[in-house]
Amino acid sequence: MRAWRVTVPGPVGLAPDARAPLTMVTEEVPEPADDELLVRVAACGVCRTDLHVVEGDLPVHHPHVTPGHEVVGEIVASGAGVRGGFSAGDRVGVAWLRHTCGVCRYCRRGAENLCLSSRYTGWDADGGYADYATVPAKYALTLPAGYSDAELAPLLCAGIIGYHALLRAEVPKGGTLGIYGFGGSAHLTAQVAIAQGARVHVMTRGDHARSLARELGAASAQGAAERPPEPLDSAILFAPVGELVLPALEALDAGGTLALAGIHLTDIPPLNYQRHLFRERQIRSVTSNTRAQAQEFLDFAGRHSLSVTSHEYALESADQALRDLAAGRFSGAAVLVP
């Protein structure tokens, strides 16, 4: 099969004659472990977290890993220990969370996303920038009907983590939500928030992204650091830019919450207590998600017709998709289609 591997983490926008961080190889199809499913990849989303893995913003966990954790796949084989629930030919989702211990204090209290022994697809184990991938059966997700493979792929991280960030932001009923950055995750989260009755204001760079935000029902769309037209009850920062924390906090009303949705963020400049935090404004980080939250979001997507803006790339063009993501050349999400 074909697979991309991270050879030496580094910038994806290197000069043509420099050594690229990603290399496509041909190798044997993996054998599923006893508790795993082997899936033929039908589509794999290109997530900003993949970019962080490839460029080295996230430390190497698995040398020469195959990135990709928004995988829509068809089951072709099962490990000897897999019992019930899945059959060859079933379509399943493979997401970021791949393993939790089930016994630590976080797992026991229902917060497996904070598990001390958690492992992740495309970081700790090979992911979906390939023709085939494996997934532990207990972490395979049931997919909603009504979406193409290319539309489903971004739901498996962009959608799931955006949903978790929305929960962390605690938007009051009928409240105002500010969204900073408007890529693959944000354009799905905005639709969920609007469906739940929130007024959404989008702050992002790029005319195309602002236009998409208005098309999807945002009440306003302006520049990344501009002030929204009304105070915000809640905000979510999707752009991995620490400098945007300050204007996002300033835009919050008293008692407002800012959720930081990224796994990586550049340094946050010094905060001024009176301008940014006083009157019980708060900051919350976001770490992965639980399987229950993931399935809850996918079930929501099955009941609501979310508009997924995806840009398809051939598997051979994964490196170009990452370069385009880094340069902000598209709105919505990129998806690799083998």
Render pLDDT for 203-229 as a digit per residue (tens, 0 to 9).
999 899 999 999 999 999 999 999 999
SS (H, E, C) 235-302: EEECCCCHHHHHHHHHHEEEEEEEEECCCCCCCCCCCCHHHHHCCCCEEEECCCCCHHHHHHHHHHHH
- The pLDDT of residue 18: 60
Residue 320, amino acid: Q
> CA 33, CA 24: separation in Å to the nearest integer?
24
| Number of Cβ atoms within 10 Å of the Cβ of 90 | 15
pLDDT at 149 over 60: yes
The answer to whether 261 and 241 are in contact (CB under 8 A) is: no
Render pLDDT for 283-318 as a digit per residue (tens, 0 to 9).
999 999 999 999 999 999 999 999 998 999 999 999
Instruction: Give percent of the chain with pLDDT exceeding 70.
Output: 99
Closest CA to 188 of 224, 208, 163: 163
The CA-atom distances, in angstroms, between 221 and each of 64, 159, 229, 246 are 40, 20, 10, 18
The answer to whether 211 and 182 are in contact (CB under 8 A) is: no
The helix or strand, by DSSP H or E, that contains position 162, with its residue range, turns out to be helix 160-169
